[in-house]
Amino acid sequence: MKEIVLDTETTGLSVKDGHRIVEIGCIELDGLIPTKKKFHSYFNPERKVSEKALEVHGYTDEFLSQKSKFNDVVDDFLNFIQDKQLIIHNAEFDLSHLNNELKLIGRSPIKNKVIDTLILARDKFPGSSVSLDALCKKFRIDNSKRTHHTALVDCELLASVYINLIDQKEPTLNFHSRETENNTEIESNILYFKKVILATSEEKEKHSKYLKTSLKKNHFS
């Protein structure tokens, strides 16, 4: 199955404050293996980048002013993701910004099936930090290239994190756009699908031997 790992960078946190997308990065996976197909674009947000956002990604107003507007690239982006399942870390944030950009140019919201790795990680590591950096550390993934939050580098790291996370369960989010007077809000319907993997006879035998050895060792040590 083909999936798209997706990440965005923005001028600030909330679309309610008029913040816009400045970068989109996407990587295609085919059967959990990255293909050579990627989508990447910077955007002129037609507004200033907040100080906090500048600290995160480092994209200045001057740099972004020379880039294309979202409307100029939207068809290339939509053609790339098509109806493929999207893999996003903190999906509600990215989708709220993407759907806001689409709404501003009179286009329909994204209706793709989405797996949110943030929710997946919280379920797998309750009480632990589940930021992308923290998950890279847990899975021993080299994130030394991540000096700033940039969409394409984050996608590469998230692809590795996702592959490590899905061995137990997949949270699938179906996002529905709900338009208010000034903004597009996101409603989510979260469904969990647990993967049950039955042990083989050989694995059962090995496990039985391990338990006998381990219990004997622990009991008499």
At residue 132, the pLDDT reads: 95
Q: 170-198, pLDDT tens digit by residue?
A: 444 444 444 444 444 444 433 333 343 44
Total domains in the chain come to 1
Tens-digit pLDDT profile for residues 128-137: 999 999 999 9
Phi and psi angles of residue 115, each rounded to the nearest 5 degrees, phi first = -110, 120
CATH of the domain at 120: 3.30.420.10
CB contact at 8 A, 192 and 169: yes
Residues annotated as catalytic are: 149
Please give the mean pLDDT across all residues of the chain: 84
- What is residue 201's predicted lDDT score, i.e. its pLDDT? 63
User: What pLDDT is attached to residue 198?
Assistant: 46
Longest dimension (CA), the chain: 73
* C-beta of residue 173 within 8 angstroms of C-beta of residue 77: no
Which segments of the chain does DSSP mark as H helices, in order?
51-57, 61-65, 70-81, 91-104, 117-124, 132-138, 151-165, 201-220
What is the pLDDT averaged over residues 106-127? 97
Reply yes or no on whether the pLDDT at 59 is more than 80: yes
77 pLDDT more than 50: yes
pLDDT interval class at 207 (50, 70, 90): low
Long-range contacts formed by 122-129: CB under 8 A, 24+ apart: 123/169, 123/171, 123/192, 124/165, 124/168, 124/169
Distance CA 36, CA 81 (A): 14
- What digits encode the pLDDT tens for the residues 34-46? 999 999 999 999 9
Residue type, 155: C
- The parent domain of residue 73 ranges over 2-220
Sheet holding 114-116, edge to edge: 33-42, 21-30, 2-10, 85-88, 114-116, 169-179, 184-194
